Structure formats: structure tokens, C-alpha cells
Amino acid sequence: MAQITITLPDGAQRMYEAGITGGEVAADISKSLGKQAIACTLDGQFRDLSRPIENDAQLAIHTIKDEAEALELIRHDSAHIMARAVQEIWPDVKVTIGPVIANGWYYDFDREEPFTPEDLEAIEKKMRDIITLRDPVRTETWERARAIAHYEAANEPFKVELIDAIPEGEDLRMYWHGDWQDLCRGPHLAHTGQVPADAFKLTRVSGAYWRGDSKNKQLQRIYGVAFRTRQELKAHLLQVEEAAKRDHRRLAKEMDLFHLQEEAPGMVFWHPNGWSIYRGLEEYMRRRQIEDGYKEIRTPQVVDRKLWEASGHWDKYRENMFITEIDEEHANEKRTNALKPMNCPCHVQVYNQGLKSYRDLPLRLAEFGSCHRYEASGAMHGLMRVRGFVQDDGHIFCTQEQIQEECAKFIQLLSRVYKDLGFDEFKIKFSTRPDQRIGTDAEWDVTEGALESAIKSIGMDYEVDPGEGAFYGPKLDFKLTDAIGREWQCGTFQVDSQLPERLGAEYVGEDSDKHRPFMLHRAVLGSFERFIGILIENYAGKLPFWLAPRQVVVASIVSDADDFVNATVEMLRKQGIRAEADTRNEKINYKVREHSLGKVPVILAVGRQEVENGTVSMRRLGEKQSVVLPREDVLATLSNEALAPDQVAR
RNA sequence: GCUGCCGUGGCUCAGGGGUAGAGCACUCCAUUGGUAAUGGAGAGGUCGUGAGUUCAAAUCUCACCGGCAGCACCA
């Protein structure tokens, strides 16, 4: 037998006979390491402990203390153990795939009857039984033909399909624990007992299409979460609960912001409080854009199909459009209209009025345009995905040479806005020419080059997403990160030469010939509805003072203070602060609790002492302490705080 | 759109073939209380819509509408 040298991470070298396994090396190093070892990394490759080592190599043994590796394996093995549990309980259920995902895993099954919550409990129990067995995991490499024959005999059609999709020449690896077998890339734990029996939980079951394609059969997907310890699992479940508390749909009820009802699915009924946030945001955006040279316009919502045919929407986007027909009794001719799903064709109409000169470019048209899209019923989600929404839309008509500067200007605007709204971090995705595209390669070189050098000139990192651009041009997408680490794609910047062409936009150049302008589609927030949803969840309802719908409640402690309270509210309102009086016959505890739950940033309590001294007792949301201050001082402080970020003197 | 679950007073939810329940909110009365729920009384629902089964349907069946989770979609 040949001798090989194994080098450990600390540099120590050990000699073994070729063919020794990682597990054996671990056991040789120490008895306890042998027990604790879960997998190894051999020359940079993450592997099973049970696989033999044939040559000199660098070897690192992993235990449950190596968080990343341990979680990966625990979740992966949990998926397999769950699949085995399911097949032990229901032998005729077909298995498919079961990858590791954030916090856990899922596994897709083909079974006629749906899994019930009781089934999930039974599966969890069976999984614990399998863990208790401490079955060793073993693995073999199989010939393709043998694997196919095996799965055909076992009547597992999905596995056969998976093997067919694996490129020729790649090893097929089989894994077993107990009698249960699965095709898998691996690696896996040393035995099933290494999955902590008290740190996983099956969370839900749902439908999922085979290979993610809605034309395929729908399978049943069971999701689970798994960690190294029970504490970690509990912490995770707690965090999920905390995230649920931020749910904007729930907060909207508590704060009385808006509602949705079935007569208008996906269309928002804004209440005074919610509309106040909306207006605050819109007015802020308006000021920011005017500052940046945009001209605001307003275009129709109901537009004849002719325009949509010309723009290409009738062909490519019709199934997402609300179509209307005018009642013939009231119209001389029958016309088919559509509610606009986008503003761009209308903006070209505005551009096209009157002859444009190169001196007019860049022309920046902005519209808080109300759009309607017929979203699939299952796609709607509170404010995040609606059928009627308003975009902070804008289209910049410009020459090729101006693209770069406009892009840089836009990114500056966007980062300023995100920062003002509390999002310091965002990512840029640069999507390049797709296979299905129009325009020449030379044109794409120009637009892609302009976009890329614009980002570079700003010095920001970005990720290239090859082939993901729009059919008419490359684009940038902007993803912000919220307070709990979630990413939301909001802003977009797209270069388009197609629509100006189709809708006949032109300008007279220096050479006095007519030219086609480029059109840049851009949005910072995306839609007001969605962005407000994001804001609410980001701040957990505790919006910054300038956006808070009810900024101040002045509450009386005794009814003798009511006049003073009302006078104070009047003064606040005169300064443009959204203030309300609470002179109800309730105790101050009750009022403080109610307005705290309602996320009012400032409560001013007034009792006898305050009336006598001309002071108010100010309590800020989230603070336990209150401070007694002269009323004038509070008025001055608050009116300063009420300024939007762009109005604050620097 | 697909799969599963859900739809009971303003809100959160219990109940379940035979006069509809709770807590909170609301109204009234008492209470003037110092920073996260004062006490008492009262009012409020044809149980998502439609059809079917039944002597009898909020309850069972079917269809539809809407919501929730996930999938698909989101140029």
C-alpha cells in the first residue's frame, strides 16, 4: 500500500496508507474528534468523511462548531431524512429534489393527497426516529445506465428525468442511510444522529411546479428550518415573529393607513393617515426632481388601443392590461381603450407636440402617473404588489452623448433620495444585452458603454447580470437594503431607442437634419404604494417625524387643561405640524398607551402644572421618560424637526 | 393563474345541523386621574355571495368572490 501525507490546517503532517478516509483520520487524531467530525474539506473540496483519500492532500476536519459547514450539512441531511420519513410513511410518494435554502431546506414530493398539518407532525416524529437510529451515511459512484435502471425499477420518474439532465461524463453519486437511497451531489453528515433532533421544524407546505415551470406538474413542497441548537431555532422563530410584527398590512390597520376590499382587488383605499404619508413622499419627490431639472406633466389614464398597438404594448403586454369598451349607446363609434399600464407612450406624445431642437435636450419629463396592471390574483400582496399604483416615473429624451451624464445625475438623485428616506445601502445590477433584442451590436456597445462608464465614474460597485437587459436596451436596477436586511428592487434606469422609433420622436440637430432621440426610462421609488409598504416595514411603523401621519398628540391630564391643549394644537397646526388634541375623559396612561401603539412620535401631556407654567410634558415614541419644557421651545424644536430632509438648511 | 388553508359584530378570534359567543374598540353613567389599559351599564352580526341537501344550514355539498402562504408571473 502506498503511503500518503495528510497536511492539517495547523501545518501538522501525518502519514497514512492510501485509501484511508477522512473519518478515520479524524478518529486517529483524537477519539473525540472522531466522534464530533461531520465532514471534511480535502484540497478545498467539501467532502464526506467516508470517502477514501488516495493522494497527498490538505485536509480540514469539520465539526458542528464550523457554523457554515455544519448548517449546510444539517439542512441538507434534514432534507434527505425528511424525504426518507415521507417514503417510510407513504411508500408510493415520489421524490424529486430537496435543496438547502436560507435557514433551512425544502423538498418537493409528488403525492395525490395534500399533506396536512397533522401529516407534518407525523413526518417530524418519524424524522426524529430516523435521527435516533444514527444510521451511517454511505455513498457510491454509479454508472449513468445503472442509476437510470435503478430509478425506473423503483418507479421514480422524476429522478430519471434529473439524471437525464446531468451532463454526460459527470459522476453520479448515490447516498444511503438505512435502506433509503437518494441521488445527490453530497456531501453528507457521517450518520443521521448528527442532525440535532430538537433544532429543526417543518414550517409549511405549499405547491411548487416541477422544475419551476408552470406548464409542468405541480408538486407538494414541504419547507423546514434547521439549526445547530434548540436555542438557535428558538431565536430564529422569534425573529420570524418580529418580522411579522412589521408587516405593513398589520401596521396599516393599527395606524389606520389604508384598506383594500374585494370590490377593487389590488387597488388601495387610502385613509387620511396613509394619504398623509403618500403626500409627504410625493411632495418631497416633486421638490427633489424639480431641483434636478425635471418638468412635471400629467397624461391620460384611459387611452385608445391605437396608441398601445403603436407602442407594442397591445402585442406584448395585453394580458396585463385593463381593457375598456365604451357603451355603444353613448358613443357614435365603438372604441376600445386601455387603462395605461405604463406612462412611456404618453410621454412620447407630449414630447412630440411641437418641433424639438437639440437645444431642448436633455428634456426630462416626470409624472406621478397612475397606472393599472392586471396582476395575477395570487401575485397581489398588500401594498407591495397591487393592480392600481402610481409611479414616480420619468423619461429623459436625450442624445447618445448625453446618456452618460444623465445616468450619473440619476444615480446621484437616487442615492440622495434613498439616504433621505433612511436607506443608506443599495446595490446596483447592470443588465446587458439579451439574446432576444433589437438594434445593432454597435448601438448596444454605445448604450452599454455609456451606462457602465457612468456607474464607474460615480465609483460605485455593481453586479453585471449578462443577458438580463430589456429587449430595447440595457438597464440598471437598484436594490435597497432595509433595516432587517431584506432587499427590495425599487429604482430602475433603462436606455431605450425602440419607443422613440415606433412613436416617431425626433429632434432637429445642429446639422438641421432630423434625428431620433434616445429615451431613458427611470424611477427612483418604483411605485408609491410599494415604497410606502417598504417604508412602513423598514421603520416598523415608527416613521421619521416629517413623514409621520400624526406627528403630535396633545393630551390633557385633567379636563381643566383642555383649553390649553386646544390652544397648543392650534399653534402647532399654524406651524404646519400635524397635531391632534386628546381631551377625552381618560387617564393619561390610557392615552399614552393608545398613541404609542398608534406610533405617534411625540405626545405632549398637559396637566395643571403645565397650564400654570406655560409648559408641556414631552414624551417621544420609544422613550420611557418625559421632559417638561416651555411650550415655545417645544414649538420651535418640533417645527424644525417637521422639515423634510431636502428642506433642512445645511 | 396553480396548490393548500381561511372568510363569524369596527378589530382579533372561539364555536359549529335546531333562540349567535369572548376580549378590545364604540355609546352612556360615574370617576379629574401625572406618562403603555379606572369602574359600571348599553348598543352592535340575515356567520363572504349564490345554489343544493335537509323538517331545519352560520354549521354539510358544489360553484363563485376575496384573503393568506408558497409556486409561477413581475419586458
> What's the Å distance between residue A582 CA and nucleotide B33 C1'?
15
Give every CB contact of residue A191 below 8 A, 6+ residues apart in sequence: A134, A135, A136, A137, A177
Res A25 pLDDT > 80: yes
User: Which residue's CA is nearest to the C1' of nucleotide B67?
Assistant: A262
Nucleotide minimizing C1' to CA distance for residue A203 = B69
> What's the Å distance between residue A82 CA and nucleotide B66 C1'?
35
Q: What would the mean pLDDT of A62-86 be, rounded to a whole number?
A: 93
User: pLDDT tens digit string along A540-592?
Assistant: 999 999 999 999 999 999 999 999 999 999 999 999 999 999 999 999 999 99
* pLDDT band for position A335 (cuts 50, 70, 90): confident
**A21 and A80 belong to one structural domain:** no
Domain holding A620: CATH number? 3.40.50.800
**pLDDT value of residue A29:** 92
Which stretches does DSSP call E strand in A188-321?
A: 200-209, 218-226, 258-259, 269-270, 295-296, 302-304
**A236 and A275 belong to one structural domain:** no
Confirm if A633 and A586 have CB atoms less than 8 A apart.
no
Q: What would the mean pLDDT of A126-154 be, rounded to a whole number?
A: 91
Nucleotide minimizing C1' to CA distance for residue A603 = B35
Domain encompassing residue A88? 68-241
**pLDDT value of residue A484:** 85
Q: Is the CB of A600 under 7 A from strand B?
A: no
Q: Which of A164-168, A198-202, A284-288, A491-495 comes out lowest in average pLDDT?
A: A164-168
Nucleotide minimizing C1' to CA distance for residue A558 = B32
Q: Which of A106, A82, A108 is CA-nearest to residue A95?
A: A108
**pLDDT value of residue A572:** 97
**Burial (CB count within 10 angstroms: exposed 0-12, middle 13-18, buried 19+), residue A332:** exposed
Tell me which residues from 329 to 388 on chain A have a beta carbon below 7 angstroms from nucleic acid strand B.
Answer: 341-342, 375-382, 385
User: How many H helices and E strands in chain A?
Assistant: 20, 36
Give every CB contact of residue A92 below 8 A, 6+ residues apart in sequence: A111
Q: Is the CB of A214 under 7 A from strand B?
A: yes
Q: What would the mean pLDDT of A376-387 be, rounded to a whole number?
A: 93
> What's the Å distance between residue A363 CA and nucleotide B51 C1'?
60
Chain centroid to Cα A472, Å, comes to 25
**A291 and A438 belong to one structural domain:** yes
**pLDDT value of residue A331:** 62
Q: What would the mean pLDDT of A322-345 be, rounded to a whole number?
A: 82
User: Which residue's CA is nearest to the C1' of nucleotide B38?
Assistant: A587
Task: Say if residue A395 carries a ligand binding annotation.
Answer: yes
Domain holding A28: CATH number? 3.10.20.30
Confirm if A40 and A52 have CB atoms less than 8 A apart.
no
* pLDDT band for position A327 (cuts 50, 70, 90): low
Comparison of pLDDT for A121 and A131, the residue scoring more: A131
Res A330 pLDDT > 80: no
**A499 and A390 belong to one structural domain:** yes
Confirm if A351 and A363 have CB atoms less than 8 A apart.
yes
Angle in degrees, CA A244, A246, A250, rounded to 5: 80
User: pLDDT tens digit string along A563-573?
Assistant: 999 999 999 99
* pLDDT band for position A135 (cuts 50, 70, 90): very high
**A201 and A292 belong to one structural domain:** no
**A104 and A132 belong to one structural domain:** yes
Res A650 pLDDT > 70: no
> What's the Å distance between residue A79 CA and nucleotide B6 C1'?
29
> What's the Å distance between residue A584 CA and nucleotide B43 C1'?
20
Give every CB contact of residue A236 below 8 A, 6+ residues apart in sequence: A103, A225, A227
Cis bond before residue A362 (omega within 30° of 0): yes
Q: What would the mean pLDDT of A623-629 be, rounded to a whole number?
A: 94
* pLDDT band for position A646 (cuts 50, 70, 90): very high
Pairing type for strands A552-556 and A602-606 reads parallel
> What's the Å distance between residue A601 CA and nucleotide B8 C1'?
36
Chain centroid to Cα A380, Å, comes to 14
Q: Which residues of A are catalytic?
A: 344, 373, 391, 393, 395, 475, 521
User: Which residue's CA is nearest to the C1' of nucleotide B36?
Assistant: A593
* pLDDT band for position A115 (cuts 50, 70, 90): confident
**pLDDT value of residue A530:** 96
* pLDDT band for position A332 (cuts 50, 70, 90): low
**A79 and A180 belong to one structural domain:** yes
A252 belongs to a structural domain: no
> What's the Å distance between residue A585 CA and nucleotide B31 C1'?
9
**A453 and A497 belong to one structural domain:** yes
**A48 and A92 belong to one structural domain:** no
Q: Is the CB of A313 under 7 A from strand B?
A: yes
Domain boundary among A40, A63, A86: A63
User: pLDDT tens digit string along A212-242?
Assistant: 888 888 899 999 999 999 999 988 888 888 8
**A88 and A177 belong to one structural domain:** yes
Q: Is the CB of A206 under 7 A from strand B?
A: yes
A328 belongs to a structural domain: no
A189 belongs to a structural domain: yes
The fraction of chain A above a pLDDT of 70, given in percent, is 99
A333 belongs to a structural domain: no
Domain boundary among A18, A41, A63: A63
**A273 and A187 belong to one structural domain:** no
A332 belongs to a structural domain: no
**pLDDT value of residue A329:** 62
User: pLDDT tens digit string along A424-482?
Assistant: 989 999 998 887 777 788 888 888 888 888 888 888 889 998 888 887 889 999 999 99
User: Which residue's CA is nearest to the C1' of nucleotide B24?
Assistant: A594
**A52 and A198 belong to one structural domain:** no
Report the number of distinct structural domains present in chain A.
Answer: 4
Q: Which of A30-39, A458-467, A599-608 comes out lowest in average pLDDT?
A: A458-467
Res A649 pLDDT > 80: no
**Burial (CB count within 10 angstroms: exposed 0-12, middle 13-18, buried 19+), residue A479:** middle
**pLDDT value of residue A591:** 94
Q: What would the mean pLDDT of A634-649 be, rounded to a whole number?
A: 93
Rounded-to-integer distance, Cα A350 and Cα A355, Å? 11
Task: Say if residue A330 carries a ligand binding annotation.
Answer: no
The fraction of chain A above a pLDDT of 90, given in percent, is 70
Q: Is the CB of A593 under 7 A from strand B?
A: yes
**pLDDT value of residue A334:** 75
Nucleotide minimizing C1' to CA distance for residue A617 = B35
Q: Is the CB of A504 under 7 A from strand B?
A: no
Tell me which residues from 99 to 118 on chain A have a beta carbon below 7 angstroms from nucleic acid strand B.
Answer: 114, 116
User: Which residue's CA is nearest to the C1' of nucleotide B1?
Assistant: A376
State chain A's mean pLDDT as an integer: 91
Confirm if A604 and A630 have CB atoms less than 8 A apart.
no
Nucleotide minimizing C1' to CA distance for residue A344 = B75
Task: Say if residue A521 carries a ligand binding annotation.
Answer: yes
